[in-house]
Amino acid sequence: MTKYINYISILLLGTCLLLVAACSTEEGELSEDMSEVIYVRNEGADMPAYVYGNGASKVFILVIHGGPGGNGLEYRCGQFANDLEEDYAMVYWDQRGQGSSHGHYEGSDVSVKQMVDDLQALVFALKFNYGSDISVFLMGHSWGGSLGTAYMITGENQYDVDGWIEVDGAHDIPLLNKEALKMFRRIGAAEILSLNNVSFWTEMISFAATAEIGGISIEEGGEINSRAYEAEGMIDDIEFSGCGGGLRPLLFSPSNLVTSGISGNNTSSLLLNEAETLAYTSRLKDIKQPCLFLWGKYDFVVPPALGESAYNNVGTEDKELIIFENSGHSPMDNEPDAFVEAVKTFVEKYK
């Protein structure tokens, strides 16, 4: 089922642009096995949101994908997504200029501010389409943590959702880079003592010492990110459940991998300077809604120190931080059972 929803219509006219099926669902008639796609039209962009799972729960978890340059359906892959869809409706959104989104707009329209507005448009669209009584939780991973945090600290947006779940989220890039270098040195020293990949970790420690000299440039930030993924691959303690078959996203995603990859890379380039300087730690005190911070112990990409900082600085008393002992940057894949349990406990408490 495909639907187009015009954000301006929702706000000003209380109607929506209909393409395939009825635009709204009668309250109380949401399916336990939803499979729909809606397109939210906002400021020149048409952005798909794929809705799967138990709509009858009236709980919608809106996934804010990583990147910039990713897509929502990358996250509908593996045990954690299957398990959460049994109890809740999961919303896999393709952000502006990424995945299968499309439209006509200027490069200047690819900004964090605009994408926050896009996200608010989607929240309004979900409530218009599925009922004002639904609960909406945001779940942002990696770059999705940057965008989700920006949403939560903008105006009164946070009060349109029931909770904020940040998963290894990059809400402060300068802090991220500093903490990644610390992890390279600390974990590297421990691995060398254990005689694990000694040459690799020796070089990583040397890189960390060099990178700190004179401050960290955007280019060095990119190298830190690349090396962080390499470092994670060297940790034997990290478990991996995967996606239940590497061909699933390729065979069953409606996205064209070539065109979405090109558009995603372009979007990433347009956001580079802004994204690499985002630093929201000082604004976390403005978040008053319930928060759940989920982090992998061995996440070199977005170190757990950011989760600890977020927990300590956020302005709500309704908060929890969970560090997964056998996870890296994606605990939903590394430890899906524990991840799902944490999400469900949080959602059930605040829905």
**Per-residue pLDDT tens over the stretch 145-197:** 999 999 999 999 999 999 999 999 999 999 999 999 999 999 999 999 999 99
pLDDT at 133: 95
Residues 130 and 207 in one domain: no
Domain final residue, candidates 193, 208, 232:
232
Residues 100 and 140 in one domain: yes
> Same structural domain for residues 272 and 214?
no
Task: State residue 20's pLDDT score.
Answer: 33
Look at residue 152 in the predicted model and tell me its pLDDT.
98
CATH number of the domain within which 42 lies: 3.40.50.1820
Verify that 247 and 344 share a domain, yes or no: yes
- Check whether residue 135 and residue 279 sit in a common domain: yes
pLDDT at 262 over 60: no
User: pLDDT confidence of 5, banded at 50, 70, 90?
Assistant: low
Domain boundary among 200, 232, 264: 232
274 and 182 share a domain? no
pLDDT score at 6? 57
Q: What is the pLDDT of residues 110-148, one digit of tens each?
A: 899 999 999 999 999 999 999 999 999 999 999 999 999
Residue with structure tokens 């880079």?
177
Q: Could you report the per-residue pLDDT of 199-247, keeping only the tens digit for each?
A: 999 999 999 998 876 678 888 888 999 999 999 999 999 987 766 444 4
Alpha-carbon distance 222 to 243, whole Å? Answer: 26
Measured from the Cβ of residue 157, the count of other Cβ atoms closer than 10 Å reads: 18
Provide the pLDDT for residue 265: 62
100 and 182 in a common domain: no
Number of continuous H segments (helices) and E segments (strands) in the chain: 12, 10
> Which of these three, 232, 253, 270, is where a domain ends?
232
* 65 alpha carbon, distance to own chain's centre: 4
198 has pLDDT over 60: yes
Least reliable range by pLDDT among 23-32, 105-114, 138-147, 339-348: 23-32
- DSSP alpha helix (H) spans, 164-292: 173-193, 198-211, 218-232, 248-252, 257-275
| One domain, residues 100 and 23 | yes
State the Cα–Cα distance between residues 224 and 351, nearest whole angstrom. Answer: 38
Task: Clarify whether residues 247 and 206 are in a common domain.
Answer: no
Q: Does 144 share its domain with 247?
A: yes
Distance spanning both ends of the chain, measured CA to CA? 26
pLDDT of residue 278: 92
Band of pLDDT at residue 105, cut at 50, 70 and 90: confident
Residues 204 and 299 occupy one common structural domain = no
Give residue-wise pLDDT tens across range 39-90. 999 999 999 999 999 999 999 999 999 988 889 999 998 899 999 999 999 9
For the four alpha carbons of 77, 119, 229 and 299, in that order, the dihedral sign comes to: negative
| Residue 271 CB partners (closer than 8 Å, separation 6+) | 68, 110, 111, 112
Give the pLDDT of residue 3. Answer: 52
Residues 297-307, mean pLDDT to the nearest whole number: 97
* Pair 205, 244 in one domain: no
Q: Is the pLDDT of residue 287 over 90?
A: yes
pTM for the structure as a whole:
0.88
Which stretches of 44-111 are DSSP H helices?
A: 79-87
**Assigned token pair, 50:** 């794929």
CA 98 centroid distance within chain: 13
pLDDT score of 109: 81
**Structural domain span for residue 204:** 174-232
Question: Number of folded domains in the chain?
Answer: 2
Task: Name residues whose C-beta falls within 8 Å of residue 57's C-beta, 6 or more positions apart in sequence.
Answer: 87, 88, 89
141, 168 Cβ separation under 8 angstroms: yes
